[in-house]
């Protein structure tokens, strides 16, 4: 059992609050741009679908070996919602592995916010004993590849559902 739960944290420009069902009301417009689905497929959720999704997420993983940590990402100083951040943490071969993912609303892209939130998450995970950090990125998504590369992650030969698995090399 991983036993890790999301906690609030902050970076230079961002507040990260553990995701709650009520965040759907704040985030539905931010996440409504079809362009956000170019690489992941599907359609933007309606408000009710997003509330239901957040309700499922915040209930936690049904697998005791997996922790779901999700955050609403808010821009300082006014706490304007701009996206979401997540880490799925599993125990594998005696170590904790964190798979990270992030979404930044279209209006806030290109400002280094995805890199900032992901860097904050990597620090947060490392402080909780997560030894291995990975991300899965569509091979055509140059901006997301640049984010994980800026974190020091390297592309591996592993492919999951057509996405490249990136891994942060262990620190010595």
In the predicted model, what is the mean pLDDT of residues 40-49?
90
pLDDT above 70 covers a percentage of the chain that reads 98
For the residues 91-97, what does the mean pLDDT come to? Answer: 87
pTM, to two decimals: 0.94
Cis peptide before 7 (omega within 30 of 0): no
Q: What pLDDT band is residue 40 in, cutting at 50, 70 and 90? A: confident
Q: Which residue has the tokens 């991300």?
A: 135
Distance CA 171, CA 166 (A): 15
Backbone angles phi, psi at 155, to 5 degrees: -70, 140
Judge: domain 9-167, CATH 3.40.630.30. Answer: yes
Mean of per-residue pLDDT scores for the chain: 94
**Pairs from 75-79 (Cβ < 8 Å, separation ≥ 24):** 75/13, 75/14, 75/15, 75/108, 75/113, 76/10, 76/13, 76/14, 76/15, 79/15
Tens-place pLDDT, residues 3-39: 899 999 999 999 999 999 999 999 999 999 988 888 8
Both structure tokens of 89: 């943490």
Model pLDDT for residues 104-131, shown as the tens digit of each residue: 999 999 999 999 999 999 999 999 999 9
* Alpha-carbon dihedral sign for residues 103, 109, 110, 112: negative
Q: What is the Cα–Cα distance from 79 to 42, expressed in whole angstroms?
A: 28
Domain positions in the chain are 9-167
Confidence band, pLDDT 50/70/90 cuts, at residue 172: low
């Amino acid at each position: 059992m991983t036993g890790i739960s999301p906690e609030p944290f902050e970076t230079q420009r961002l507040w990260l609050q553990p995701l709650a069902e009520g965040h759907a009301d704040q985030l539905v417009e931010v996440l409504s741009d079809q362009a956000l689905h170019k690489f992941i497929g599907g359609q933007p959720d309606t408000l009710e679908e997003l509330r239901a999704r957040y309700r499922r997420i915040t209930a936690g993983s049904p697998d005791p070996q997996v922790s779901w940590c999700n955050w609403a990402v808010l821009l300082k100083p006014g706490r304007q919602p701009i996206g979401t951040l997540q880490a799925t943490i599993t125990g594998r071969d005696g170590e904790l592995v964190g798979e990270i993912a992030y979404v930044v609303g279209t209006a806030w892209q290109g400002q280094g916010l995805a890199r900032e939130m992901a860097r904050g998450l990597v620090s947060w995970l490392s402080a909780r004993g997560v030894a291995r950090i990975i991300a899965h990125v569509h091979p055509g998504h140059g901006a997301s590849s640049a984010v994980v590369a800026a974190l020091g992650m390297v592309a591996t030969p592993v492919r999951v559902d057509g996405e490249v698995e990136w891994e942060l090399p262990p620190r010595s």
